Amino acid sequence: MKRTVNEFTSNTSGHGWGMIGRTNSKFGKLLWVAITLGSTIAAIAWVTTVIQRYAKFETKDRVELRAGVDIAFPSVTICPLYGYSPKKTMETFSDPESGFVLQNTFLTSTSTHFGILMQMTNETIEILHGILLLAKSNRGFYENMGVNEISAISHEIQNLVPHCLYQGNQCTEEDFTKLVHHEYKNCYTFNGKDVNLTNPMIAESGAQNGLSLTLYLEHTDYTYANYDPNRAVTAAAGARVIIHEKGTLPDPDNEGFDVEPGHLINVALSVNKRELMKRPWGECADHTTLHSTDFKYTRNTCKRKCMEKMIEKQCGCWKDLLPVDLNDTRDAKMQACGKFNTKEWLNITEANVTVLKEDIARFKCQMEKYLWSDVSASMVGCECEYSCSYSTYNVETSQSEWPMRGSELDFYCSGFVHSPNYYDLTMYEEFHDKIGVHCVNYFEFMNVSKNWGDKLRANFLRVNVYFKDL
């Protein structure tokens, strides 16, 4: 036995075991046995743990196809590409102190007095021209009028969405939540974060078992649309549709797709749910809510919020990059980066030059571009990793002309005239005398189609959102 032990300790690669054979004292041998045995047990335990972890987390990202899993309907956000209600903007002209009138007066005065302003501020014509373009843009009106006033002259839900079906049943206004966007004004989210649908789960696929929205765009003969040469999407007709996970904040600038008037658009969905490993095996973000909001965390909105914070830190002013809730609060002492002290700019002969230069400094600052690496490194809580669990939606769209020629009279009469609030809708003022009066005489369908069909199609569109398979 002694010979066998000696052979093992002499030939093993574990040096501790070799020391047992080379040590002469019994105490030394016992000490080396204890040390070596403890080290061996610890090594075996550590290797076992590594193997178990490896077996349990064999990949960082795994794709599975699961049948029979309940699918929740996503949030669907609709933003009109032309955000103003022409009727409401016309009403503002009766109030010379309204923000809309003051902003237009500011634009006229600034463009008229370019030379004087260049001398007063010592700025180039390029800078002043940039200020004029910003002030004239949708963002310029948004930041100078304020969120509440800009929302008040945008589309109301009952006018923008006069007809809505979800799983074959009529929707209610309570199924929608309003957000205000710096470009699109009032956006409406079906099945938003605070909405509890009666049937949130989808049992069947197909258009009849999803969401169907009829949109009215309020394009009239007196609609004026500003053209912004610095913006990729400008002076466009239609709506932007964003499909996003329930509870998340939509980002119309970076997500979604546009739909044009005069068409029926089918949006067929399939969902992918991803679950990433938490630390220490993965690097996902295990957050429940987005920065200082009640919205669910996503990587994209985290990055946008952090960019807002970066601008606020560098410029001392706010610049919204995401839609806001009217109930959101912000520091009243801090103003928008693109807000101009209108009264000083209008008081051209006695203007406070210091105030004008402060406005120009904010304008220049908010135009700076920041690399994401600089933002994430300098702003606390801005790692913005992927959420540990999130869903994405694959979208397939198809469209057809709608309503088809010859159906315009029936479309209008059957679709809207019998609605309880029909006489309160803006479409009543625009189309009732042209089409609605003929609802009792369907033989007029040819004249209606010929005279008003194209105008009807320029104002209406329909979007069907549904799952193509479950």
The pLDDT score that the predictor gives to residue 44 is: 84
Tokens 């830190």 found at: 313
- Element spanning 88, H or E: helix 86-92
CA distance 70 to 396: 21
Query: CA separation (Å) from 42 to 5, 35, 241, 344, 445?
Result: 22, 11, 59, 77, 88
Instruction: Report pTM.
Output: 0.86
Give the pLDDT means over successive 10-residue stretches in the chain (470 positions).
56 56 65 74 83 65 62 97 95 91 93 89 91 94 96 98 97 97 98 89 93 96 84 90 96 97 97 84 79 87 95 96 90 90 89 94 94 92 90 96 97 96 96 96 94 97 94
How far apart (Å, rounded) are the C-alpha atoms in residues 412 and 451? 14
Which tokens hold the place of 85? Answer: 């209600």
pLDDT at 27: 65
- The pLDDT score that the predictor gives to residue 283 is 80
Question: Would you list the domain boundaries of the chain?
Answer: 2-56, 71-270+335-355
Sign of the Cα pseudo-torsion (375, 376, 378, 380, in order) = positive
> Which CATH number is associated with domain 71-270+335-355?
2.60.470
